[in-house]
Amino acid sequence: MVKAVQQRTLKTRAKLLDAAQAVISESGYEAMRVEEVVLRAGVAKGTFFAHFKDKDALMDQLIGAEIDRYLDGIEALPAPKTISEMSEAMMPLITFMTCERYVFDVILRHSGAAANADIGPIAMTFGRHAEVVTKWLWDQPFRKDIPAELQAEGVQAFMVQAISLMFCSLHNSIAPHERLETYLTAWLMPAT
């Protein structure tokens, strides 16, 4: 017989998530230490790893949840009619993704999928983001020679590229917003 999940399991997990969120609110993602989290949650270190495969898995969950919140905001917006509007709509999400170098690294690591083949929260948000962009492109005056899904993949590729260059000392003179617009214009409205 398979026993149901015990009550305390949910409680402990919630305590861990709350503690982690508290630490992050105070000191940022990079500063989060597993020891600090279990201390605040009032559990042993081993318990942490009984609930999360590793520290990265917790980050995946927390950052994924945050991205989802931004996607909620993006989805509530009307479909952008211009490249500029599209870029602007994506900026709050991009701002979060770049709040810390560490956060961006975690996102990149999980954006495809974990090496171990199962899709985590962040990977899910990339799927969702592609869907949102695809919907945007449905009835817009952009290029029609390639499917909207492919266009959306390109939008993601350029979003990542624009963010990467934000952290690059050679290229951080241009505003991210402008760079993204340049990319998206060239990608979505080619003038050949």
Q: Which residues bind DNA (CB under 7 A)?
A: 1-9, 11-12, 32-35, 42-47, 49-51, 54-56
Give the one entry of DNA, its own copies, none that residue 76 binds, where binding means its C-beta sits below a cut-off of 5 to 8 angstroms depending on kind. none
CB 20 within 8 A of CB 51: no
Nearer to its own copies among residue 5 and residue 168 (C-beta): 168
DSSP, collapsed to helix, strand or coil, labels residue 144 as coil
Is 1 among the residues that bind its own copies (CB under 8 A)? Answer: no
The contact mask relative to its own copies for 88-127 (x = CB under 8 A, - = no) is -------------x---x--xx-xxx-x-xxx---x---x
Closest CA to 132 of 178, 174, 90: 90
Is 70 among the residues that bind its own copies (CB under 8 A)? Answer: no
Is 55 among the residues that bind its own copies (CB under 8 A)? Answer: no
Give the one entry of DNA, its own copies, none that residue 119 binds, where binding means its C-beta sits below a cut-off of 5 to 8 angstroms depending on kind. its own copies
- What the block records as the tokens of 90 is 């994506």
CB 104 within 8 A of CB 163: yes
**Angle subtended at Cα 129 by Cα 127 and Cα 134, rounded to the nearest 5 degrees:** 95
Contacts for 184 with CB less than 8 Å, ≥ 6 apart: 83, 86, 87, 155, 158
Measured from the Cβ of residue 186, the count of other Cβ atoms closer than 10 Å reads 13
Is 84 among the residues that bind its own copies (CB under 8 A)? Answer: no
By CB under 8 A, name the binding residues for its own copies: 101, 105, 108-109, 111-113, 115, 117-119, 123, 127, 143-146, 150, 153-154, 156-158, 160-161, 164-171, 182-183, 186-187, 189-192
